[in-house]
């Protein structure tokens, strides 16, 4: 582990699903010697025709490079694939989506086997890989030395953001961002449903919705400042009392449009509960505390 990580350091990649295949092509295009392995060999053969070396076994793929990347279905498949591999002296980078607890356990497992461990949470879909302007990146956490040593190679397919030595943090950040995304998807679904039965062109409506969501997304900075200071009334433009008073309008509009309120109601209920126990001069930050169990 003392050698310098040269620009074109060899990479071994295990797992050639849609994400693994996209990663493989990016490393090949950048000129990294690449060894690949996949449970179903056909996928490795396709990449071999493009310049990769197809290993005959997972252990053989691990042996081929100092940097070993796995991108498999889940944590169980990582354990199964690496069971017979000699990980001593390797930088093991696990890009498989897992929970923070699974990532921490996998880090301890890898360290017991003599590897430096990095966990990754991929904030990209396969078409964004190898396309820097698409803005995709991977959250990394775990061994700082390993990240610094392998940063150049890891930055080839998409950007690389290191978020701490706790191996669980990459998974935590990944799931936190994706959870917020599902909240946004839920809101967008409700908005489209509201206009769906009217003579409203969804394609004309979409830019209005996208611009509004982008403008409102900036509110997370105010929420963060309040969480840090503990003063939930700081800089509030839309007090909770006013917002709760407005919720019947949203529910009545849904009713009039023949749209279910099932996506809105849980959030409105949290707003109402916070108003009962907190201050009407606050914004919506108190909802964060209500979610903590
Ligand atoms: P795919 O379903 O396309 O590929 C799954 C891969 O895991 C295949 O290589 C498959 O091998 C392998 N695999 C599954 N089970 C086993 C097992 N028991 N033993 C050995 N190998 C196994 O998934 P993706 O490539 O899309 O995703 C891989 C990881 O990347 C996942 O954790 C996913 O959450 C994450 N990710 C994916 C994104 C996406 O948009 N695709 C976005 C962000 C993260 P085989 O070919 O033999 O079936």
Per the CB < 8 A criterion, the answer to whether 95 and 138 are in contact is yes
Predicted local distance difference test score (pLDDT) of residue 1 = 40
pLDDT given at position 23: 98
Task: For residues 61-85, give the mean pLDDT.
Answer: 98
**CATH of residue 11:** 3.40.50.720
Q: Which of 120, 138, 166 is the last residue of a domain?
A: 166
Per-residue pLDDT band for 72 (boundaries 50, 70, 90) equals very high
pLDDT band at 280 (very low <50, low <70, confident <90, very high): very high
Q: Provide the pLDDT for residue 37.
A: 98
Is 142 in the same domain as 46?
yes
Please, are residues 87 and 66 in contact by the beta-carbon 8 Å criterion? Answer: no
Question: How many angstroms separate the alpha carbon of residue 280 from the centre of ligand 1?
Answer: 47
Whether the per-residue pLDDT at 32 is higher than 70: the answer is yes
| pTM of the full structure | 0.93
Closest-CA residue to 15 (of 64, 77, 60): 77
Same domain, 189 and 285: yes
Question: Are 139 and 249 in a shared domain?
Answer: no
Query: Ligand 1 site: residues with CB under 6 angstroms?
Result: 15-20, 38-40, 43, 71-73, 77, 80-81, 96-97, 122, 125-126
Res. 2 pLDDT band, cuts 50 70 90: very low
What backbone phi and psi angles, to 5 degrees, belong to 118?
A: -125, 135
**HSE, side-chain direction, 13 A CA sphere, residue 278:** 25
Q: At what angle do helices 169-196 and 202-217 cross, to 10 degrees?
A: 140
The predicted structure's pLDDT at residue 3: 40
pLDDT of 4 > 90? The answer is no
Whether 264 and 143 share a structural domain: no
Model pLDDT, residue 94? 98
Q: Whose CA is nearest to atom 43 of ligand 1?
A: 122
Check whether residue 129 and residue 99 sit in a common domain: yes
- Binned at pLDDT 50, 70 and 90, residue 65 comes out as very high
Look at phi and psi of residue 135 and say left if phi exceeds 0, alpha if psi is from -120 to 50, else beta.
Answer: left
According to DSSP, the β-strands at 116-123 and 137-142 are antiparallel
User: 242 and 177 in one domain?
Assistant: yes
Same-domain check for residues 107 and 229? no
Kindly report the CATH number assigned to the domain that includes residue 222.
1.10.1040.10
| Domain identity same for 261 and 180 | yes
Tell whether 41 and 112 lie within a shared domain: yes
Ligand 1 centroid distance, CA of 203 (Å): 33
| Residues 160, 177 share a domain | no
Tell me how far apart the alpha carbons of residues 34 and 28 are, in angstroms, rounded to a whole number. 7
| Res 160: pLDDT | 98
pLDDT digits (tens, 9 = 90+) for 189-234: 999 999 999 999 999 999 999 999 999 999 999 999 999 999 999 9
pLDDT score for 179: 97
**Which residue, of 166, 186, 204, is where some domain finishes?**
166
15 alpha carbon to ligand 1 midpoint, in Å?
6
Domains identified in the chain, total number:
2
Confidence class for position 278, pLDDT limits 50, 70, 90? confident
Average pLDDT for the chain? 96
The answer to whether the CB of 252 falls within 8 A of the CB of 231 is no
* Cα–ligand 1 centroid distance for 246 (angstroms): 45
Through-space distance between the first and last CA atoms of the chain, rounded to whole angstroms? 43
pLDDT in tens, 178-193: 999 999 999 999 999 9
- Tell me which residue range forms the domain holding 161: 3-166
Given 132, 147, 166, which residue is the final one in a domain?
166
Ligand 1 centroid to residue 96 C-alpha, Å: 7
- The pick from 17, 54, 76 for probing ligand 1's pocket by mutation, whose C-beta has the most ligand atoms within 8 angstroms, reads 17
pLDDT for 5 equals 45
Same domain for 157 and 278?
A: no
The band of 6, judged by pLDDT with boundaries at 50, 70 and 90, is low
Q: What is the pLDDT of residues 88-137, one digit of tens each?
A: 999 999 999 999 999 999 999 999 999 999 999 999 999 999 999 999 99
Query: 6 burial class (0-12, 13-18, 19+ CB within 10 angstroms)?
Result: exposed
Do 191 and 159 lie in one domain? The reply is: no
Are 37 and 45 a contacting pair, CB within 8 Å?
no
* CB 62, CB 82: distance < 8 Å: yes
């Amino acid at each position: 582990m003392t050698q310098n990580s040269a620009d074109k350091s060899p990479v071994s990649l295990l797992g050639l699903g849609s994400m693994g295949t996209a990663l493989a092509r990016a490393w090949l295009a950048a000129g990294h010697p690449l060894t690949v392995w996949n449970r179903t060999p056909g996928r490795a053969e396709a990449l071999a025709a493009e310049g990769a070396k197809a290993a005959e076994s997972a252990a053989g793929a691990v042996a081929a490079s100092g940097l070993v990347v796995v991108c498999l279905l889940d944590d169980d498949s990582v354990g199964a694939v690496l069971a017979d591999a000699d990980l001593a002296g390797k930088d093991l980078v696990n890009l498989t989506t897992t929970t923070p607890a699974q990532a921490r356990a996998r880090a301890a497992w890898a360290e017991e086997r003599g590897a430096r461990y990095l966990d990754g949470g991929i904030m990209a879909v396969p078409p964004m890989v190898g396309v820097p302007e698409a803005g995709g990146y991977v959250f990394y956490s775990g061994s700082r030395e390993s990240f610094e040593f392998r940063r150049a190679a890891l930055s080839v397919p998409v950007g690389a953001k290191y978020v701490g030595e706790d191996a669980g943090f990459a998974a935590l950040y990944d799931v936190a961002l994706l959870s917020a995304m599902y909240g946004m998807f839920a809101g967008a679904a409700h908005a489209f449903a509201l206009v769906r039965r009217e003579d409203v062109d969804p394609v004309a409506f979409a830019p209005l919705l996208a611009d509004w969501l982008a403008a409102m997304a900036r509110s997370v900075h105010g929420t963060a400042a309040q969480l840090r200071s503990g003063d939930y009334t700081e800089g509030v433009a839309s007090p909770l009392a006013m917002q709760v008073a407005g919720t019947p309008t949203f529910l009545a509009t849904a009713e009039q449009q023949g749209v279910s309120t099932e996506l809105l109601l849980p959030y409105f209920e949290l707003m109402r509960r916070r108003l009962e126990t907190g201050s009407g001069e606050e914004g919506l930050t108190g909802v964060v505390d209500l979610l903590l169990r």
